[in-house]
Structure 1
Amino acid sequence: MSERDDLLDLLHKHRDLFRVTVRGLSDDDARSRPTVSELSLGGLVKHVAEVERTWARFVVEGPAPEPDIDWANVDWSNPPERVKAYQDGFRMLGDETLAGLLATYDEVAAATDELVRTVDLDARQPLPAAPWFEPGATWSARRVFTHIVAETAQHAGHADILRETIDGQKSMG
């Protein structure tokens, strides 16, 4: 098995575990927020797809420009449209369906898989300026793909808690 095969296997395994958490849900259940947080299963599917798409784009294009938002001074009781749009990336909106969100996730996953098969895994891009990144740091494509695996696994854990809260189903155990 090659390194690329290992990366693809990890991506598929963790995506599949994540998808188990939404299997058989209605749109209403996927949209529900069964805990005190704002998280919903549909919102997590939407978010995980967008995070993967963003990191895959980073592999090819480098860092995107940071949004012009002063996060420290946002009036959360009446946030600007750009902040609302960002927040909507974590929500399953009324006109969205779980099937549609999963179809988007499948498209994103297929595009990422093609990158894993073809991109130079040693190619590096500079990380954007952010407090959580070391200044001047770069990531290889390989590092980005392992980060996508970690993000997916972390959110699968969140999703498992939400699903168990909705109807008792567990993805493992």
Structure 2
Amino acid sequence: MTDPDAKDALRRYLDQGRQALLWKLEGLGEYDARRPLTPTGTNLLGVVKHVASVEAGYFGVTFGRPFPEPLPWIEDDAEPNADMWATADESKDDIEALYRRVWRHSDATIDALPLDAVGHVPWWGPGNEVTLHRILVHMTAETHRHAGHADIVRELIDKSAGVRPDGSNLPSDDPQWWDRYHARETAEAERFRTP
């Protein structure tokens, strides 16, 4: 687990998730970036704030390299879900800048340590010993999971969708094609509706 190519590959996948997450905020104003679009309040700015907070912990405290800024919304006495939405005092620019600072801090940890470096995740309780390799895999999965959430929320805002700005993984850009596709899916689902 000391192969530099392995570390580079893991970092590349993590970076792709990070970039996708921030891309979902591009071009949005404060209202659209923060408005909740699911019954549980999922919103783009909250997703980015959450991922920044989680990443700060996993690549910080876990390896004895705490992120140097206070993150009061993740303290034990914080309001539940305080990391999942932005307060009036936290602008879109503030949250994006925080994420970029966390990203740099995490990359410094990744650069400084070998993949087999041992850390401890205090919030995991017993059995909390991990390696940098495991945390890279964990944070890559976590980041991509939340980038998927962000993709759906962004689509609900303005129908923007896709894996990245320089290349979509979708079959068509034609809105009429998507209307027909959606209608066909709806018709198929209706066949299974129970009275």
Normalised by the size of structure 2, how large is the TM-score? Answer: 0.71
Match of 2:146 in 1: 155
Counterpart of 1:61 (choices 60, 64, 68) is 64
Which structure has the bigger radius of gyration?
2
Paired residues for 1:1-173 under 5 Å: 2-61=5-64, 82-84=77-79, 86-128=80-122, 130=124, 135-172=126-163, 173=170
What per-residue deviation string (whole Å, max 9, x for no partner) do you get for residues 97-150 of structure 1?
1111111101111111121111122122344464xx7x4352101111111111
Distance 1:142 1:161, change over 3 A: same
List runs of 5+ in structure 1 lacking aligned partners. Answer: 69-81
- Tell me, yes or no, if the aligned pair for 1:40 and 1:92 is still in contact at 8 Å: no
What per-residue deviation string (whole Å, max 9, x for no partner) do you get for residues 6-60 of structure 1?
1221121111111221111101111101222211111111001000001011332
> Structure 2 CA distance, aligned partners of 1:45 and 1:9?
19
The DSSP-based 3-state class of the residue aligned with 2:147 is: helix
List runs of 5+ in structure 2 lacking aligned partners. Answer: 66-74, 164-169, 171-195
The DSSP-based 3-state class of the residue aligned with 1:15 is: helix
Q: Which has the higher contact order (CA 8 A, sep 6+)?
A: 1
Shift of 1:4: 2.3
**Residue identity matched to 2:41:** E
**Residue identity matched to 1:146:** V
Runs of 4+ in 1 over 4 A off after TM superposition: none
Match of 2:189 in 1: none
> Structure 2 CA distance, aligned partners of 1:58 and 1:145?
14
- Tell me, yes or no, if the aligned pair for 2:62 and 2:121 is still in contact at 8 Å: no
C-alpha RMSD of matched pairs (Å):
2.3
The DSSP-based 3-state class of the residue aligned with 2:119 is: strand
- Tell me, yes or no, if the aligned pair for 2:30 and 2:92 is still in contact at 8 Å: yes
Shift of 1:83: 4.2
**Residue identity matched to 2:12:** D
- Tell me, yes or no, if the aligned pair for 2:121 and 2:128 is still in contact at 8 Å: yes
**Residue identity matched to 1:120:** P
Distance 1:136 1:8, change over 3 A: closer
The DSSP-based 3-state class of the residue aligned with 2:156 is: helix
